[in-house]
């Protein structure tokens, strides 16, 4: 009996010992796991905060760049009545000029500053009207459409139908013809002013007449898109009096002999200016292109019984 109690007591001690060892190990694991978890959570929290700051700075930097690139500050500009041929690059250029040191706000003084900028810093808009509305500055005006491109070495600029000089901006939606054969210049003529040259005027008048014809006769497929350049090297016969004074060239280099400047055909016994236009557009209508294989299209020799379109131009 005593031996039995002794065995039970011994067994109880062993169980008690195992339990106490298990509790110590559990306590040790708990004592290690608790602080480690807290440390890990703190590290993760710091990482999250830093990541949030970095992401925030990235978005802030992007916002600042976009605001600067937009270039309008707190002035919200509206360009009204913009033609389809005006490129985004040209619109951005006009907006940048408009807000140059104009200040912020929507009052009459800001509108006046914008008007002065457009009048002094760009030639693309004529008859400019600027007025503030409840939420923006509204800009209206007549857009000058370039008709000819002039190149001299590194210089490159446009002229419109009034020979107003315009700075070069790529315009892919317009059939702009290069004007060649002008005597070399050393500096670019002033932007926004009329470039006074007789040979330039002769080229511009022809291009303007082609542009008008295109609007009324071939608006779906303008003939001007097929003209590459107009050459006035021999204007008024300054190189050779017997050769054509003005020559146009198609995109595939077909020579289109125009002859004397507009209004001077009688002096040189040439076809009238209307006859020249009729011949050119008659050829274009027959073949659907100026690149129909012909290498030479003569417009200046008089011909009888040429059907002429009604003169609306």
Task: Report yes or no: 207 and 128 within 8 Å, Cβ to Cβ.
Answer: no
pLDDT at position 71, please? 39
User: What pLDDT score was predicted for residue 6?
Assistant: 47
Using DSSP's 3-state secondary structure scheme, residue 26 falls into helix
Instruction: Decide if 170 contacts 157 (C-beta within 8 A).
Output: no
What pLDDT is attached to residue 292? Answer: 73
DSSP string covering 129-183, please?
Answer: EEEE-SSSEEEEEEEPPEEEEEEETTEEEEEETT-BEEE----TTS-PEEEE-PP
- pLDDT value of residue 303: 72
Say if pTM beats, i.e. exceeds, 0.85: no
CA dist., res. 179 & res. 197, Å (int): 12
The DSSP result for 238-262, as a single string, is: SS-TTS-SEEEEETT--EEEEESPT
Instruction: Tell me what pLDDT residue 270 has.
Output: 95
pLDDT at 138 (0 to 100): 92
Lookup: tokens for 250: 């198609």
Tokens at 129, concatenated: 């009207």
Cα 277 from chain centroid (whole Å): 33
Burial of 252 (0-12, 13-18, 19+ CB in 10 A): middle
Q: Are 211 and 174 in contact (CB under 8 A)?
A: no
Tell me the domain boundaries of the chain. 77-143, 146-298
| Per-residue pLDDT at 313 | 42
pLDDT for 17: 45
Show the low-confidence residues of the chain (pLDDT under 70): 1-74, 102-107, 304-313
Domain covering 77-143: architecture: Roll (3.10)
């Amino acid at each position: 009996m005593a031996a039995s109690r002794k065995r039970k007591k011994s067994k109880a001690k062993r169980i008690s010992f195992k339990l106490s060892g298990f509790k110590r190990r559990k306590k040790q694991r708990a004592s290690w796991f608790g602080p480690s978890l807290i440390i890990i959570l703190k590290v993760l929290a710091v990482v999250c905060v830093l990541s949030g700051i970095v992401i925030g700075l990235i978005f802030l930097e992007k916002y600042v760049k976009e605001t600067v690139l937009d270039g309008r500050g707190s002035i919200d500009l509206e360009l009204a009545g913009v033609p389809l041929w005006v490129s985004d690059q040209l619109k951005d250029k006009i907006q940048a000029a408009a807000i140059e040191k104009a200040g912020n706000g929507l009052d009459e003084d800001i509108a006046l500053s914008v008007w002065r900028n457009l009048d002094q810093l760009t030639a693309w808009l004529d008859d400019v009207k600027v007025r503030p509305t409840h939420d923006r500055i509204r800009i209206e005006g007549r857009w000058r459409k370039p008709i000819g491109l002039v190149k001299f070495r590194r210089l490159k600029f446009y002229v419109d139908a009034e020979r107003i000089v315009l700075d070069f901006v790529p315009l892919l939606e317009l059939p702009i013809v290069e004007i060649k054969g002008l005597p070399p210049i050393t500096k670019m003529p002033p932007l926004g002013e009329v470039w006074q040259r007789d040979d330039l005027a002769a080229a511009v008048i022809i291009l303007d007449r082609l542009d008008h014809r295109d609007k009324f006769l071939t608006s779906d497929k303008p003939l001007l898109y097929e003209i590459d350049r107009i050459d006035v090297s021999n204007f008024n016969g300054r190189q050779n009096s017997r050769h054509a004074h003005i020559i146009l060239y198609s995109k595939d280099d077909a020579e289109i002999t125009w002859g004397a400047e507009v209004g001077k055909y009688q002096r040189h016994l040439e076809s009238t200016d209307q006859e020249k236009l009729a011949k050119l557009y008659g050829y274009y209508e027959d073949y659907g292109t100026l690149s129909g294989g012909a290498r030479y299209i003569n417009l200046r020799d008089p011909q009888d019984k040429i059907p002429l379109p009604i003169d609306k131009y």
